[in-house]
Structure 1
Amino acid sequence: MDSPEMEELSFGDERQEPEPRTGRFRRPLVVAGLAVVLLGGMAALGIGGWRFYGQSRWPLSPPEEAPPPSGFFSIYMCLLPTPELPTCHDGAATEEDKRQVEAALKASPEVRIFRFRTREQGWEDFQEWVTPGDGSGSASVYEPADVPEAYHGALGPGDWQGVKRRWEGLPGVSDVIVFGDTAWRGRADIVIEFCPDRGDDAYEPCERTPRASEQEKAAVLGRIEDLDGVEAVYFEDLAHALQDRRRMLWEATEVDPLVVPEGFWLKLDRPGRSSEMREIFGRMPGVAAVLEVSAPPQWRFAVTPGAGG
Structure 2
Amino acid sequence: MQREFGRLGISGTVLLKRKILALIESNHVHDWDDPRLYTLIALRRRGVPPEAILGFVNELGVTMAETTIDTNRFEQCIRRYLEVTVPRLMLVLDPIPVVIDNIPEDYIEMVELPFSKDPASGVHTVPFTRTVYIERSDFRESASKDFFRLAPGTSVGLLKVPYPITATGFETDPETRLVTLVNARYEKPDEGSAFKKPKRYIHWVAKCPSKNSPVKATVRVFNSLFKSDDPNTRPEGFLSDVNPHFEEIFPNAMIETGIEEIKRTAPWPRPREGYTEAASGITPPETVRFQGMRIAYFCLDRDSTETNLVLNRIVSLKEDAKKA
Provide TM-score, normalisation by structure 2: 0.25
Q: Which has the higher strand share?
A: 2
Higher-RCO chain (CA-CA 8 Å, sequence separation at least 6): 1
Q: TM-score, normalization: structure 1? A: 0.26
